[in-house]
């Protein structure tokens, strides 16, 4: 074997060893990065769980999607059904609020009779409503639809929330809910519909900030809480900015009616003019993006 062959053999052997060593080093480095990535994700998740509650055990507002009608019909034959509740406890969960699906109560909908000869019905005069409270402004909403068309089929994409804290007595709360046009309904909380009679889509809702998050209407006279949450689930059928203005007016009126009443923002800080402008900006930006998507 010549000297040149020996040199080439040594060089080739060195290259092979270098390639193998580099491959093993690359594999170990990737495994280390993967372990670090998993560790970082776990730390962020635990940190998020720890930060989601304050000292009072109140978490942020979340919307829980309502089950489809078909699934509810299948579960209707079960001997017992559970009603979704809003939770605001010291458990490691966020405050859960029901989604404002704004669908009409199934009890109010009657099945259409079988085909019968067509009858001519006299048109019914439209009801007009005189609004006296600032929070009961008329809404410019497209309500012309078929009877079988669901009022709202979209899942909430964004939730705007306000809080009212103070010494809230049940009797005072019920009186204010009546004056502001709220109706006690789904999920055992109060809802503000387009129509103050409780008809049409839901604009916004009011729930208890504290466990169990609901209201016992049968014992409302003896009820007491230190805070309630008003929330507007977007999108809605109508003018979102006008609906939020109504919700803000309702929060201000309720705070004025209770002892030590105060309106707070989503972070439960005093609602300032700047925070109010920021919420209006969020709503406008949401509507702009939604128009672009559609």
> Do 234 and 286 form a contact (C-beta atoms < 8 A)?
yes
The residue extents of the domains of the chain are 82-104+147-293
CA distance 64 to 156: 9
pLDDT at 44: 66
Measure the CA–CA gap between 252 and 176, rounded to whole angstroms: 11
Distance (Å, whole) CA 37 – CA 6? 47
Summarize pLDDT for 175-222 with one digit per residue, the tens.
999 999 999 999 999 999 998 888 889 999 999 999 889 999 999 999
The tokens describing 237, both together, are 């059928």
End-to-end CA distance of the chain: 78
pLDDT in the model for residue 147: 38
The tokens describing 197, both together, are 């009679």
3-state secondary structure 60-113: CEEEECCCCHHHHHHHCCCCCCCCCCCECCCCCCCEEEECCCCCCCHHHCCCCC
Looking at residue 173, its pLDDT comes to: 97
240-257 and 273-293 are packed helices; what angle lies between their axes, rounded to 10 degrees? 150
pLDDT given for residue 162 in this prediction: 97
Question: Helices 170-179 and 240-257: crossing angle, nearest 10°?
Answer: 140
Matching CATH number, 82-104+147-293, of 3.30.930.10, 3.30.1400.10, 2.40.37.10, 3.20.20.100? 3.30.1400.10
Q: Concatenated DSSP letters for 143-185?
A: ----TTS-S--SPPSEEEEEEEEEEEEHHHHHHHHHHTTEEE-
Residue ranges, the chain, pLDDT below 70: 1, 42, 44-155
pLDDT of amino acid 37: 78
pLDDT confidence of residue 22: 86
pLDDT value for 33 = 81
pLDDT of residue 40: 75
């Amino acid at each position: 074997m010549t000297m040149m062959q020996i040199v080439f053999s040594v060089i080739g052997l060195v290259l092979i060893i270098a390639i193998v060593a580099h491959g093993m080093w690359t594999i170990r480095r990737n495994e280390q990065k993967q372990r670090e990535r998993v560790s970082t994700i776990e730390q962020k998740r635990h940190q998020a769980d720890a930060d989601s509650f304050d000292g009072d055990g109140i978490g942020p507002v979340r919307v829980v999607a309502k089950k489809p009608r078909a699934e509810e019909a299948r579960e209707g034959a079960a001997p017992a059904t559970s009603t979704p509740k809003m939770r605001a406890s010291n458990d490691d969960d966020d405050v859960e609020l029901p989604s404002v699906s704004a669908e009409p109560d199934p009890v109010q909908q009657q099945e259409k009779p079988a085909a019968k000869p067509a009858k001519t019905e006299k048109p019914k005069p439209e009801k007009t409503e005189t609004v006296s409270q600032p929070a009961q402004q008329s809404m410019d909403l497209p309500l012309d639809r078929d009877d079988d068309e669901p009022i709202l089929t979209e899942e909430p994409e964004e939730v705007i929330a306000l809080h009212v804290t103070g010494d809230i007595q049940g009797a005072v709360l019920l009186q204010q809910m009546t004056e502001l046009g709220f109706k006690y309904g789904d999920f055992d909380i109060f809802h503000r519909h387009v129509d103050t009679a409780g008809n049409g889509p839901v604009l916004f809702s009011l729930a208890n900030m504290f466990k169990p998050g609901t209201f016992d209407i049968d014992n409302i006279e003896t009820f007491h809480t230190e805070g309630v949450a008003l929330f507007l689930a977007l999108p809605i059928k109508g003018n979102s900015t006008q609906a939020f203005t109504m919700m803000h007016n309702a929060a201000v009126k309720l705070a004025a009616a209770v002892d030590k009443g105060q309106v707070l923002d989503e972070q439960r800080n005093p609602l300032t003019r700047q925070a109010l402008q920021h919420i209006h900006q969020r709503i406008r930006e949401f509507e702009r993006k939604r128009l672009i998507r559609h």
